[in-house]
Amino acid sequence: MTRNRAALFDVDGTLADTNHLHVVSWWEALRQHGHHVPTHAIHRAIGLPGEDLLDHLLEEDRDRDADEVLSTAHDTLYATYFDRIAALDGAADLLRTLAGAGWKVVLVTSAKDRELDALRRAIDADDALTDTATSDDVEQGKPAPDPLYHALELVGTPPERAVFVGDTVWDMKAAARAGVAGIGLLCGGIPRGDLEGAGAAAVYGDPAALLADLADSPFSAVVSD
């Protein structure tokens, strides 16, 4: 591997204000198919790939043949928000600042196809991106470290020269398991204590707050060559 520095970013709830849209979409998809799951439980599961999210929320002895129908219902409902997705404050500026400082910026996300296109349009910082790693590229999604390992392989960077920014406990657990410094953001709605308990080295309110403190953040510990 080279001496590249990699800035890895989750997207939903980290760069784009979408977590509660996912909650509502999953809640309605589940309700339509006879599953009454409280929104607070769904919120805690956001960030898991669809199949793992359903495993987390529903009974183990359910008819798993219906999982694809549930996921399709969620995707259909969520797609109605595509044109209204908004980036979180400072998201594009943060990505461009890191890219301008020589970091390889990689999105690490379970979003794909039209959903990923909509997210990237909302963030509007494709010029700062080096690559994108999606859940289709690995066997296991977060909290397994596989998505981060794949992202690091894309840019030829060892874990100790990378930082991963996310908003869920699943993000922070994946970072810890991959040996990557994790930064948690509160803008996804998960409490500070939960993020720190899952391994976050630092916690900020949103991308703008991280950008304002970038010089004193875990990014500063990874020096350039």
In a domain, 144, yes or no: yes
Residue 86's CB is within 10 A of a number of other CB atoms, namely 12
From 62, 80, 98, the end of a domain falls on 80
Instruction: State the Cα–Cα distance between residues 119 and 16, nearest whole angstrom.
Output: 7
Q: What average pLDDT values come out for the chain (225 residues) when binned by 10 residues?
A: 87 98 98 96 95 92 90 97 98 98 96 94 98 90 96 97 98 98 98 98 98 98 89
Say whether both 92 and 199 belong to one domain: yes
Instruction: State the Cα–Cα distance between residues 46 and 43, nearest whole angstrom.
Output: 5
Report yes or no: 34 and 66 within 8 Å, Cβ to Cβ.
no
- For residue 71, give its domain range: 19-80
Say whether both 148 and 71 belong to one domain: no
CATH assignment of the domain containing 50: 1.10.150
- The DSSP annotation for 165-195 comes to EESSHHHHHHHHHHT-EEEEEGGGS--HHHH
Instruction: State the Cα–Cα distance between residues 59 and 34, nearest whole angstrom.
Output: 13
Q: What is the pLDDT of residue 164?
A: 98
Residue 6's CB is within 10 A of a number of other CB atoms, namely 26
Helix (H, G, I), strand (E, B) or coil at 67: helix
Give the list of residues 6+ apart from residue 189 with CB closer than 8 angstroms, or none: 13, 19, 20, 43, 167
Q: What is the pLDDT of residue 64?
A: 87
Q: What is the pLDDT of residue 214?
A: 98
Q: What is the strand order of the sheet 202-204 is part of?
A: 131-134, 104-109, 6-9, 162-166, 181-185, 202-204
In a domain, 41, yes or no: yes
